Amino acid sequence: DQQVKQNSPSLSVQEGRISILNCDYTNSMFDYFLWYKKYPAEGPTFLISISSIKDKNEDGRFTVFLNKSAKHLSLHIVPSQPGDSAVYFCAGYDKVIFGPGTSLSVIP
Amino acid sequence: EPEVTQTPSHQVTQMGQEVILRCVPISNHLYFYWYRQILGQKVEFLVSFYNNEISEKSEIFDDQFSVERPDGSNFTLKIRSTKLEDSAMYFCASSGRRIQETQYFGPGTRLLVL
């Protein structure tokens, strides 16, 4: 039962360019979405969230877009930095349901 | 900055043994959670805890699992009789005064069941 899907297991981006990480969900009850970043051997770290009543939330280099009709959200990181290289998890909030993650590699 | 801490960082145990994983949530948080991540798989919700009782649990959280907040600071996950498939990274998380507040995760305990 994959309520949250991240169809790209990995992504490589040049430093300074935009990283776009995508997430699709099936559960219409989600009223809040979160992105977490995870480095190896560490716990997930909260990055940014968006309420279902909004379509965009921005925090510095990170912007999350929500398209409720398409049940799709995306995380934009611009400009990408080598320190952004990590696994990114999208999560829907009913109880927190994580997607499988996308491993981002930012190449200097 | 306050953070969630977990002990031990690594635990190796024999199948059938009991393990207790410990967490110290952020001090003014009221909601507590356990998640696990089996190697190569996604992070999975196990249980949420509020007001000294379980508020929600997943189908993974069967009778072999229990949680407790024995004092004002610790939050524990007990696995009564470990199985090989319990080998995973276990993450504790806590959130503030509202259920929808952001959850802050601990660094995890890596459990290996032999």
Nearest by CB to residue A44, choosing from B44, B48, B105, is: B105
What pLDDT is recorded for position A43?
84
- Assign A12 a pLDDT band (cuts: 50, 70, 90): very high
DSSP, res B80: S
Please state, in angstroms and rounded to a whole number, the distance separating the CA atoms of residues A21 and B104.
22
Across A73-82, A84-93, B49-58, B69-78, which has the greatest mean pLDDT? A73-82
Per-position b or e across A80-98, b if 16+ CB within 10 A of its CB: beeebbbbbbbbbbebbbb
- For A44-68, the pLDDT digits (tens) are 888 998 988 899 999 999 999 999 9
- B58-82 per-position pLDDT tens digit: 999 999 999 999 887 899 999 999 9
Q: What's the pLDDT band for A37 if we cut at 50, 70, 90?
A: very high
CA distance B95 to chain A (A): 11
Q: Would you call B43 and A98 a contact, using CB atoms and an 8 Å cutoff?
A: yes
Name the residue facing A93 among B42, B91, B100 (closest C-beta).
Answer: B100
CA A68, A73, A79: angle at the middle one, nearest 5? 145
Question: B56 in contact with A at a CB cutoff of 8 Å?
Answer: yes
A22 or B96, higher pLDDT? A22
Residue of B nearest to A101 (CA): B42
